[in-house]
Chain A
Amino acid sequence: MPDYETFEHDVLVIGAGGAGLRAAIEASAAGVRVGLVCKSLLGKAHTVMAEGGIAAALANVDERDNWKVHFADTMRGGQYVNQWRMAELHAKEAPDRVRELEAWGAVFDRTKDGRILQRHFGGHKYPRLAHVGDRTGLEMIRTLQDHGVHRGIDVHMEHTILSLLKDGDRVVGAFGYERERGRFKIFRAKAVVLATGGVGRAYKITSNSWEYTGDGHTLAYDAGADLIDMEFIQFHPTGMVWPPSVMGILVTEGVRGEGGILTNNEGRRFMFDAIPENYRAQTADNEEEGWRYCQGAKDARRPPELLTRDHVSRCIVREIKEGRGSPHGGVYLDISWIKQKLPNAAEYIKRKLPSMYHQFKQLADIDITEQPMEVGPTTHYIMGGVHVDPDTQMSRVPGLFAAGECAAGINGANRLGGNSLSDLLVFGKRAGEFAAQFAKQNSLGKIDPPQAEQIESAAREALAPFERSSSESPYQVQKDLQDTMQDLVGIVRNESEMREALGKIDDFKKRAENAAVSGNREYNPGWHTALDLKNLLAVSEAITVAALERKESRGAQFRDDYPDKDGQFAKVNTMISKAEDGSMQIRLEPLPEMPDYLKQIIEEMK
């Protein structure tokens, strides 16, 4: 085996977004040697895009809030197929994690009495999201990054992991390459934490950044872990639709939290037309009440624009399909109307939503203080991912942990806004903590002939695109996959389209195996795209297989051939794993039984 540069760490964290950084910090605080690998430059992970805020029951703005309400809100949003223990831990521990960020230098917006300000958000009963204007993700990652760099963590920037190395059942390290010169590297570790984010780049219209190619999902799947809930993809209702270059870029839910309303081309606030039964008691029944809620009135209920994302997306799709959409295929989101209510509305909007103002002015030449925005659903988040133990975040593969968007369970069938940033902190910390513990209890695995063969085979596979002489372009394969997923496994699904998608994915796999790359290994994006294809295809297949298996509509999954909820699927999760022969297998696993004290909380909060 040629001499690849080899690094030894106790804990290797793959991914440096909120979850990865938090895990690395925690592991390092436990006294073990930590290595952190990231695909892009430090501080530039997709976390920077998060705009809404961190959901935590701090009760700084409404003293009626506490972890039980947050837990109930999360379970309701997830249509009760969440892993209850993760939702419980998340609700209980989020407040401490937010206060900790402040202790590390984060500067959140303040209440009048100087505490962390919290704002309303879809699906949350009380104002719960700690935020900084509309750039909370940036604040989080920058705080973690600045705190982390002084903790002795070895950061390997612009490195991509190709495969995990195993010794028997255990994960003992990872094999990857660095973008700069394309050299291969070996990372030996006693424990590995996957924090690689989501899969949005498998879809044509997405808010997700370049690096979201489902790497962690695929690495875990190939290493023998289970993938749970892969059918649940969240389509954020409000992504930009015009001009084409910005299609998919997010317009934060915060716009609706500050009073933004959704209208169709008839000027009607269509969200009032179809309020779901299980949210009726919590939703305003007139426009005035909705406005008062946004302004902080404690006796007002939320406007229907702040219902959960799955519901809002479907309503928007309905308006567009039935011909009441905006000129470029979306609907209107209008915040400028609040000038009827507030004297200095333009200033207020610019202060609360500065990056939205900037984004629209700069990219679409629209002044949101004067005009409505055209918005439509965009692929935003995957609720599904690596199945992990709720307390330790370890998958069923010993030594392999996962946290953040690439792990799954806390959100069930639909995620509430704000719950992702808090998820990163709560479970990033746990993953780091237990990975460090595992590392202390185990030795470094072997990199002997069996692993050497794994490494050699991974290297050969990685270099194969350079050897081929076909005209198949990896960019084109990705583009075709994106079109397929967008059209056939999108917001509204059915059996025949999804079967067609599976056929196409098979086809893309063959094309990917034929994709050729020119040039050399130095910072070659064509080569990187060819390598990412494997992951994109694996997660696309998993999403489709899971969506086919769940023959009902629930949360973010909507099937027009099974448009209603079906009791038989109410208490199961889909579980995908790799069979001995390499094929993708799916089974249904019963939901873990919720203890009585939590069942009681859910009943009380109905």
Chain B
Amino acid sequence: MKATFKIWRGDTKGGEFRDYTTEVAEGMVVLDAIHDIQRTQAPDLACRWNCKAGKCGSCSAEVNGMPKLMCMTRLSELPLENPVTIEPMKAFPVLKDLVTDVSWNFRVKKKIKPFKPRHPDAPDGTWRMQQEDIDRVQEFRKCIECFLCQDVCHVLRDHQMHERFIGPRFLIHVAALEMHPLDTEDRTEELRNEQGIGYCNITKCCTKVCPESIQITDNGIIPLKERVVDDFYDPFGWIWRWLKRKLKS
């Protein structure tokens, strides 16, 4: 059986969709079709991929308008009577064909205060943590940095506010640090200011596209928003922070 794929071809200067028709068989995923097309029709079709098992987060693209990992999108879940549209992530500048410039993400991460553990709990230099206290953090650390959540978030995708909003992926990164039982750092100030947590209006598109089913909004962003509110918008919070500063000095 054959199917047609409308694939975006182009570079920094622009481009257009081109149709490619190829054989499709049972169990194939979109990435298989891309590989077949590369091998037989378009050897310079640029596409990022690595593991082909949904673990590395390299093959992010938009399939029929939905941000997806190409290696985890089965052709059997797509309507093949019509051409399948495959295009690069819209929230990031295009480099070539399906490859986008995601370097902004790496720059953002560098600016987030790193993990800073408390002193070890035991004489041998190790810590003690209970499984139930780390379940949430482990959920966040499943993130494969596919950037699909960044791609779909309207603040980045439509409003291109990369300078003022770190996006769902990094809000989860901050949440994983803030909720880490051993971490002693406080990141609410940056969340409120440079990192733009206020821009999230909890529309939950990020949660919908996450291939690891991380409950980004409910388990990560909303609790962080609550912490920011507690620290900065609660009069008791103001008094508490003032007291803490006084006691430190």
Contact = CB atoms under 8 A, between A and B. Distances in A.
Contacts of A146: 109, 114-115
Nearest to A530: B43
Interface stretch (B141-149, B197-205, B222-230, B240-248): B141-149
Given A44-B50, A355-B55, A525-B47, A139 B141 contact: yes
B126 A102 contact: yes
Interface stretch (B23-31, B150-158, B187-195): B23-31
Interface string A526-558: 110000000000000000000000000000000
A107 interface: yes
A180 B39 contact: no
Mostly, the B contact residues are loop
B25 A244 contact: yes
Contact of B96 (A244, A245, A355, A523): A523
A362 B45 CA distance: 26
Interface residues of A, number: 64
Given A46-B51, A107-B180, A138-B142, A41 B128 contact: no
Interface stretch (B14-22, B79-87, B131-139): B131-139
Interface stretch (A265-273, A299-307, A315-323, A514-522): A514-522
Contacts of B55: 48-49, 135, 138, 355
A8 interface: no
A103 B39 contact: no
Contacts of A44: 50-51, 56-58, 145
Interface residue tally of chain B, by bracket? 35 or more
Interface centre among A41, A116, A135, A476 (most CB of B within 10 A): A41
A146 B109 CA distance: 8
B109 A363 contact: no
A473 B42 CA distance: 11
B9 to A, nearest CB: 10
Interface string A341-365: 0000000000000010011001110
A135 B142 contact: yes
A103 B117 contact: yes
A579 interface: no
A525 B59 CA distance: 14
Contacts of B127: 102, 114
Given A244-B27, A364-B27, A138 B144 contact: yes
B38 interface: yes
B39 A473 contact: yes
Contact of A209 (B38, B56, B102, B142): B56
Interface string A44-74: 1010110000000000000000000000000
A527 B28 contact: no
A537 to B, nearest CB: 19
Contacts of B25: 244
Interface centre among B29, B50, B95, B96 (most CB of A within 10 A): B50
Given A102-B126, A244-B27, A525-B47, A107 B115 contact: no
B145 A211 contact: no
Contacts of B144: 48, 138
Nearest to A117: B131
A133 interface: yes
A246 interface: yes
A113 interface: yes
B125 to A, nearest CB: 7
B32 interface: yes
Interface centre among B51, B131, B137, B142 (most CB of A within 10 A): B51
A135 B138 CA distance: 10
B166 interface: no
Contact of B102 (A41, A242, A245): A41
B33 to A, nearest CB: 10
A435 to B, nearest CB: 24
Contacts of A522: 11, 46, 95-96
Contacts of A40: 48, 50, 56, 58
Nearest to A240: B53
B185 to A, nearest CB: 11
A105 B74 contact: no
A204 to B, nearest CB: 13
A523 B97 contact: yes
A37 to B, nearest CB: 15
Interface string A471-489: 0011110010000000000
Interface in B165-207: 177, 180, 182-183
A246 B46 contact: no
B219 to A, nearest CB: 15
A122 to B, nearest CB: 21
Contact of A210 (B26, B50, B102, B129): B50
A439 to B, nearest CB: 25
Interface centre among A103, A104, A132, A211 (most CB of B within 10 A): A103
A107 B131 contact: no
Contact of A518 (B44, B50, B58): B44
Contacts of B177: 105
A427 B60 CA distance: 33
Contact of B114 (A48, A147, A362): A147
B130 interface: yes
A359 B211 CA distance: 11
A519 B43 CA distance: 8
A359 B54 contact: yes
B208 interface: no
B129 A110 contact: yes
Contacts of A46: 50-51
Interface string A165-180: 0000000000000001
Contact of B126 (A99, A243, A517): A99
B46 A149 contact: no
A149 B109 contact: yes
Interface in A408-431: none
A348 to B, nearest CB: 14
Nearest to B101: A180
B1 to A, nearest CB: 14
Across the A-B interface, the 3 shortest Cβ-Cβ residue pairs: A243-B27, A519-B44, A114-B128
27 contacts: A40-B50, A40-B56, A41-B48, A43-B145, A44-B145, A48-B144, A99-B125, A103-B125, A105-B177, A107-B129, A107-B141, A109-B131, A110-B131, A113-B128, A115-B126, A142-B143, A157-B103, A244-B25, A246-B53, A362-B54, A363-B53, A473-B39, A476-B39, A518-B43, A519-B44, A520-B44, A522-B11
Interface of A: 40-44, 46, 48-49, 99, 102-105, 107, 109-110, 113-116, 132-133, 135, 138-139, 142, 146-147, 149-150, 155, 157, 180, 209-211, 242-246, 249-250, 355, 358-359, 362-364, 473-476, 479, 517-520, 522-527
Given A105-B115, A519-B43, 4 more contacts: A147-B115, A209-B52, A362-B54, A523-B96
